[in-house]
C-alpha cells in the first residue's frame, strides 16, 4: 500500500496546475530505457517556483539552460550496473503552467537499467521535506524508487 503522502505527492507532481502555495515539495523523474538505441530518456517534473528559487535565488523566473543543466546533473546521477557514472546530456527545459519538465539523455549501451544506480537529490538541499520519486521503465516493467533528504544512491532491481 502506498502511503497517503506519496499518493498526494504523485497527484500534485503529475496532476494539473499546482496551487499558488503547495504544501508538498516533490519532483517526479521518469527514466525510460530505449533498448534499440541503448539510450535512456529522463524527464523530470518539478514545481517552477521551487526550481527557480533553488537555482537563481528568486522564484520569479527560471535561469538559463546552462544553470539548470549544471544544477540537475549535480543532483541527479545515473551509474551503470558496474558502478560507472554515466554522462547525462541536457536536452532542455519546458515550462508547463506551474511545472517545469527537464529532459536529459544518457547512453547505457546494451547493459540497460537492470542494477543501475540512481541518486535523485533535487531540491533536498533547499527543502527538508522534499520527496523525489523516480519511475524507471525497462525490461517490460516499471520500478518506483523514493528519495528524501539524506538518501544516497539506490539500485534498480
pLDDT tier at 45, thresholds 50, 70, 90: very high
pLDDT at 7 over 80: no
pLDDT at 2 over 60: no
Q: Per-domain residue ranges for the chain?
A: 4-10+25-155
CA pseudo-torsion sign 111, 112, 114, 116: positive
pLDDT at 129 over 80: yes
| 157/154 Cα distance (integer angstroms) | 10
* pLDDT computed for residue 56 by the predictor: 83
Q: Per-residue pLDDT tens for 68-112?
A: 999 999 999 999 999 999 999 999 999 999 999 999 999 987 789
C-alpha 56: how far from chain center: 19
Q: Is 3 helix (H, G, I), strand (E, B) or coil?
A: coil
* pLDDT computed for residue 61 by the predictor: 77
Rounded to the nearest integer, the mean pLDDT of the chain is 87
Give the residue carrying C-alpha cell 503552467.
97
* pLDDT computed for residue 21 by the predictor: 56
Is the pTM higher than 0.75? The answer reads yes
Amino acid at each position: 500500500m502506498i502511503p497517503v503522502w506519496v499518493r498526494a505527492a504523485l497527484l500534485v507532481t503529475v496532476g494539473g496546475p499546482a496551487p499558488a502555495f503547495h504544501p508538498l515539495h516533490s519532483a517526479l523523474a521518469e527514466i525510460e530505457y530505449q533498448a534499440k538505441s541503448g539510450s535512456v530518456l529522463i524527464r523530470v517534473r518539478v514545481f517552477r517556483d521551487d526550481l527557480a528559487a533553488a537555482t537563481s535565488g528568486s522564484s520569479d523566473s527560471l535561469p538559463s539552460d546552462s544553470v539548470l543543466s549544471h544544477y540537475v546533473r549535480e543532483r541527479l546521477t545515473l551509474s551503470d550496473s558496474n558502478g560507472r557514472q554515466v554522462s547525462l546530456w541536457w536536452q532542455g527545459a519546458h515550462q508547463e503552467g506551474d511545472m517545469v519538465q527537464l529532459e536529459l539523455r544518457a547512453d547505457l549501451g546494451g547493459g540497460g537499467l537492470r542494477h543501475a544506480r540512481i541518486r535523485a537529490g533535487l531540491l533536498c538541499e533547499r527543502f527538508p521535506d522534499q520527496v523525489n520519486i523516480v519511475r524507471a521503465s525497462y525490461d517490460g516493467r516499471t520500478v518506483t524508487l523514493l528519495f528524501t533528504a539524506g538518501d544516497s544512491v539506490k539500485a534498480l532491481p
